Each structure stands twice: as structure tokens, then as C-alpha cells.
């Protein structure tokens, strides 16, 4: 078990990565000062695989867990799904002393965290991420939310988890496509903060050996979040490298057609294009990133039915636009990124068109 430090004054938040943490969830929740009834929010797939283990661990430690299941997939990140969960939690008798356990990938983590943030004006949340995306990125940092028709994550709240348990044994049950897509976020962390990590990424590495890599990525995310928790200084915005175009692709394609990491792979290709053409990113460095995305089987060519104008329209509703100004993350060198304020719509149009080759 590897513990990753995070500095959030006034809030207890413990981040752990390693094999077997799911079986220790009850004990660790008790150590975190939680008690009483809890809602285990999960999806149909993860619930079938890991719901019983989570329930047993929590019950053995003296908690009263209630399993609440939602359909698997991005469509569950909605206000209607959140409202339904809240009604079911009220029916189950959860009160201000209760807590939520988010057991699943990024969709479940975002949805369950949002429900915890707004239920009775906020109750504690424990994140038990079961996908690469969730373990290295979405479970850490306190961003929660659901999608609106106009775009991804436009309804949400900051709500830091009390505990994050990244059990690497749960990665063994991930389908190959869902496993590989998560490495888009790992590669993103390499681009913005840890260039050396890019060289060390190995698509053939056994899943059982990933705990140090997961912890390394959690540390990157935690360090950035601790300095700019609510994205006020612009530092946390660096985590959006590849996400401006990536989120637009997810939205325009229809949620679920492309997995999050697959869309972010295309978004990073676009961001590399802008970084290289306008901010001096050396071609050989950009090519290293592209090669690693391809090595994980991530998409590098935009589906032909996604028109450039449709993507630009989706981008204008993204929360990364401020007062009509594009906030676009670029990388002049591997391991270094910043938010540029002079990226134009024409620059992004050219980057999108480059994805068609």
C-alpha cells in the first residue's frame, strides 16, 4: 500500500494505492472517522464484480451499507440519475451522519461524488475507483458533476473525498479497451508534469505491477490540486491538456460512442499540433507522445462524420471558455505546460482538420 500526501488545509483526505484495498475498505473508513449507514453507489458491471466484496468489508467493520446501482455508461451522468439516487437514499434512511462510497470508474465517481456534495447539503464521500482513468485522475481532486445536453461536466460541485482507495486488483477485471483508454490521462500527466514517465510507460506491463505508476500519477494530480483546488489561479487548468477538443468530440459523437480516454487521445493530438505550430514544441517530442498514444491502441484519426463546425459549436459551451475567451492548454516542452490566451478559433480549426489525416 502506497500513501500519497495531499495538502488540503482543514480537510482530511487520504489517498492510497495498492492491491487489496477493497477488502480493507471497512477498516480504512472507520480509521477515517466515518460511521453509520452508507450508500455504495456503483454501476451494473462493477456491482456484479466488486459489490459483494465492498459490502462485506464495510459490514464487517460495523457499517450498514446499502448498494444502489445505476446503468453502466456515460448516460448515467445526468441530473435525472442523481435525483433518482437521492430519492433512493432518502428511502433507505441515510441522514447527515451517513456517507457515500463511489465504487466504479469515472462516471460512477463523478455521479456519486456529486450526489454526496448535494445530499442534505453535503455528506462525506469515499472514492473506490476501479478503472485507470478514475484511479489516476477523476477520483482525486474533488471535482464532481454530471453532464448537460450542451456539454460534459457542466453541472457540478467541488467536494473533496474523505478517502480514495485505488485498489489495483480491480484493474484485472477491466475489459482491454477500457483498460487502454485510461492511459490517455497518464500520458497527459507526462506531457504537463513528468516527461521521464513517458519513456517508462509499457503497454505490456502486468496490471498487477501498476501500483507505483498509479501512485505516481495520483501524486501529480494531488500536487496540482493542493495548489489550486478550485481552479482560481490557472494551475489546475493544466490538467485540461487535450480536453478542450476532447470533450467536444465526446459531446458531438454522442456520449458512449467514444470512451473518455479515446476522445482525449484525439484532443491531445490537436493540442500537440497547436503546441508544435505555435509554441515551439520540438517535433521529436511531439512524436514521442503520438507514438505512445498509438502504442496503447488509442485513436489518432477523427471519425469522418464529426464535422469541424459541430466540434467548434460544442467547444463554445465548454466551461474552459471564459468570457468568450478560449483557455487552451499548450506544451512548449515535454513536462511543461501553460494556459495560452492567444489561441484562436482558426488555430483550433486547423488542429481539428489535422486529425483527419
Annotated catalytic residue, options 66, 162, 243, 327: 243
Rounded Cα gap, residues 67 and 94, in angstroms: 12
Active site residue 240: yes
Active site residue 185: yes
Annotated catalytic residue, options 77, 216, 247, 327: 247
Active site residue 147: no
Three-class DSSP category at 326 = strand
Active site residue 317: no
> 233 burial class (0-12, 13-18, 19+ CB within 10 angstroms)?
exposed
Annotated catalytic residue, options 236, 278, 288, 290: 236
The count of other CB atoms within 10 Å of the CB of residue 298 is 23
Which of 337, 293, 334, 281 has the alpha carbon at shortest distance from 201? 293
What residues form DSSP beta bridges with 338? 330
Q: How far, rounded to the nearest angstrom, does the alpha carbon of residue 101 sit from its chain's CA centroid? A: 16
CA distances from 20 to 54, 87, 130, 178 (A): 11, 32, 12, 21
CA distances from 355 to 288, 306, 342 (A): 17, 11, 21
Active site residue 121: yes
Annotated catalytic residue, options 74, 229, 231, 262: 231
> 246 burial class (0-12, 13-18, 19+ CB within 10 angstroms)?
buried
Annotated catalytic residue, options 66, 188, 221, 292: 221
Annotated catalytic residue, options 121, 149, 232, 357: 121
Residue whose C-alpha cell is 445505476: 70
Annotated catalytic residue, options 185, 229, 262, 276: 185
Active site residue 143: yes
Annotated catalytic residue, options 143, 189, 216, 327: 143
Which of 270, 80, 86 has the alpha carbon at shortest distance from 184? 270
Active site residue 221: yes
Active site residue 50: no
Annotated catalytic residue, options 147, 217, 240, 251: 240
Q: Calculate ∠ Cα 120-104-143, nearest 5°.
A: 55
Any idea which residues carry the catalytic annotation? 121, 143, 185, 221, 231, 236, 240, 243, 247, 260
Amino acid at each position: 500500500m502506497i500513501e500519497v500526501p495531499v495538502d488540503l488545509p482543514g480537510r482530511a483526505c487520504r489517498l492510497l494505492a495498492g492491491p487489496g484495498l477493497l477488502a480493507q475498505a471497512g477498516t480504512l473508513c472507520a480509521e477515517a472517522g466515518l460511521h453509520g449507514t452508507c450508500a455504495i453507489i456503483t454501476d451494473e458491471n462493477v456491482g456484479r464484480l466488486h459489490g459483494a466484496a465492498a459490502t462485506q468489508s464495510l459490514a464487517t467493520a460495523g457499517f450498514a451499507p446499502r448498494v444502489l446501482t445505476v446503468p453502466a455508461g456515460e448516460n448515467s451522468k445526468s441530473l435525472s440519475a442523481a435525483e433518482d439516487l437521492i430519492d433512493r437514499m432518502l428511502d433507505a434512511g441515510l441522514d447527515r451522519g451517513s456517507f457515500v462510497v463511489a465504487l466504479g470508474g469515472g462516471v460512477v465517481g463523478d455521479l456519486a461524488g456529486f450526489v454526496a456534495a448535494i445530499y442534505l447539503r453535503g455528506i462525506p464521500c469515499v472514492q473506490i475507483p476501479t478503472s485507470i482513468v478514475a484511479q489516476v485522475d477523476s477520483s482525486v481532486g474533488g471535482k464532481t458533476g454530471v453532464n448537460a445536453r450542451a456539454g460534459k461536466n457542466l453541472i457540478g460541485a467541488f467536494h473533496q473525498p474523505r478517502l480514495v482507495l485505488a485498489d489495483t486488483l480491480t484493474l484485472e477485471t477491466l475489459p482491454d479497451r477500457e483498460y487502454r483508454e485510461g492511459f490517455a490521462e497518464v500520458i497527459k500527466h507526462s506531457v504537463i508534469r513528468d516527461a521521464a514517465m513517458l519513456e517508462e510507460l509499457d503497454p505490456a506491463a502486468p496490471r498487477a505491477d501498476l501500483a507505483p505508476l498509479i501512485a505516481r500519477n495520483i501524486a501529480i494530480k494531488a500536487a496540482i490540486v493542493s495548489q489550486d483546488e478550485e481552479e482560481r489561479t490557472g494551475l489546475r487548468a493544466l490538467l485540461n491538456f487535450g480536453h478542450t477538443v476532447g470533450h467536444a468530440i465526446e459531446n458531438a459523437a454522442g456520449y458512449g460512442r467514444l470512451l473518455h480516454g479515446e476522445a482525449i487521445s484525439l484532443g491531445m493530438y490537436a493540442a500537440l499540433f497547436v503546441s508544435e505550430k505555435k509554441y515551439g514544441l520540438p517535433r521529436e517530442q511531439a512524436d514521442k507522445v503520438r507514438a505512445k498514444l498509438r502504442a496503447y491502441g488509442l485513436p489518432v484519426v477523427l471519425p469522418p462524420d464529426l464535422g469541424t463546425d459541430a466540434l467548434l459549436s460544442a467547444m463554445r459551451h465548454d466551461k474552459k471558455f471564459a468570457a468568450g475567451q478560449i483557455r487552451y492548454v499548450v506544451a512548449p516542452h515535454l513536462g511543461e505546460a501553460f494556459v495560452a490566451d492567444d489561441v484562436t478559433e482558426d488555430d483550433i480549426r486547423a488542429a481539428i482538420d489535422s486529425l483527419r489525416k
